[in-house]
Each structure stands twice: as structure tokens, then as C-alpha cells.
Amino acid sequence: MTPVHVLVLGGTTEARRLAEHLVARDSGVRVTTSLAGRVAAPRLPPGEVRIGGFGGPAGLAAWVREHAVDALVDATHPFAATMSRNAAEAAAQAHVPLLALRRPGWVAQDGDRWHSAGSLAAAAELLPALGERVFLTTGRMGLAAFAGAALDDLWFLVRSVDAPEPPCPARTEVLLDRGPFTLEGEREIIRRHRIDVLVTKDSGGDATAPKLAAARETGIPVVVVRRPPVPEGVPVARTPEEAVEWVVRRLHASG
């Protein structure tokens, strides 16, 4: 029996775990993980790996057809809205099933002082009323939203895996680091840099959640940028294990 070829749009811990599960199967599945190439030294998953963009939905659909992909899993970051839209369009063009693998978002707990924002720009607008020393943990992309003159009096600690490119906030210190992070480490950052407001995307997961607990302990406000919705009509798995079950169903259907 010809193996089912699964293309995983990756770059997340869940994508890597899905590839590990699929590659560990004795037979029946061939897995290729696609990485965007925005991180200088990504953690490569097992199986086949391709790095780089596809050139939009048409390019992705062409790749899917050329490489006989049987199923597509969008396991990109919850905020990779453009790639998710491209995946939905490409799956429709190539007539292959598509699954979105999305870790659950965070839920506020007692003691949290969360302020919801629909975008990075909206988050930036909230900051002057909330604090003066900002721990910005939204990654290196999109920093232009915080670079306006209205925020020049604020100081930003920007944490990212790779060094950000301008435009950046006028008063910025960059902290290069990669999760998972510890509660003790996040407490120390808040203490040492005298942070009085945290900005984060609702990425979900455990790797970066300790900053929320540290903010709760110190009583500082947190601006949480809401994640974009999954494209309409695309089924969602919340864990890699659920995604494996979906792939297995495709395997049985093709058999």
C-alpha cells in the first residue's frame, strides 16, 4: 500500500510532536514538515523537511499536487493568519482534506488583570494608561505597532528568539531567548527590569505561560492580544494526538 503523504505546516511544538508521532508509526504514513524559515536555527522535526514559502495559495496547491500530498495539517502558530488562509484556499484548490492543529488559548484566573486587544495596534493604544515599563513578548514581527511617537515615553523590554528589525519602540532593550520559560525566571525579569505591564499574544500552551503567573503574583496588568479565528469550515484538533487520529482516519479511508 502506498503511504499516505501528510504535509504539516509547522513551526510549533505541536507540529514537531505530530511529526514525531507519525514518523514513529511502523508504516503507512509519509510526513513532510514545512517551515517558513523565519527562525535562524529552528528545531527540526523528524521526517522530511522543507524550508521556505510556497508563493501563496496557488503555489501551495501546486506543491501539494506535485508531491502527491493526501492530507494537509495546518500546525502553524495560532497567529499565522495569512498562512492559515492560504492553507484553506490551497486545500480547496487541490481537493485534499485540511485539519488545523491549534493548542487551546489561555484562560484568565483569579487575580489576573487582563486587558483584551484585537490587534497589536489596539494593544499599543492601551499601554499609556497601564504602565511605563513594558515587557513585550509578542515576538520580533509587528514591533512597528509600538514604535509610534505616542509611546516614546515608555520603555520596552522586547523578548524574541532572533533579533528584531526596525522600526522598534524608541526606548528598547532586546532580550534574545527561546522558551520554555520558568516561573522563577519570569519573576526575575519582572523584578530586575521593574516591569509594570506585560503584553502577550494569546498563544496558549505551557512553554510561555509562566509569565502570566508571574504577572498575576506581582499584580501587574497584562494586555492579551486575541488570536484570529481558524478559517471557516476547517476542522480543528486541540492536541497532536487528536491530529494523529484524524490522519489515521485518512489512512483507513485510502486503504
pTM of the predicted protein model: 0.87
pLDDT of residue 255: 56
Q: What is the mean pLDDT of residues 141-155?
A: 94
Q: What is the pLDDT of residues 230-252, one digit of tens each?
A: 999 999 999 999 999 999 887 77
The residue ranking higher by pLDDT, 141 or 131, is: 131
How would you write 198-253 as a 3-class SS string? EEEECCCCCCCCHHHHHHHHHCCCEEEECCCCCCCCCCEECCHHHHHHHHHHHHHH
What is the model's pLDDT at position 37? 72
Query: 33 and 19 in contact (C-beta within 8 Å)?
Result: yes
CB burial string 76-96: b at 16+ within 10 A, e below:
bbbbbeebbbbbbbbbeebeb
Mean pLDDT for all residues in the chain: 93
Q: Quick check: 197 pLDDT over 80? A: yes
Window from 38-47, 57-66, 83-92, 104-113 with minimum mean pLDDT:
38-47
pLDDT over 70 for what percent of the chain?
Answer: 96
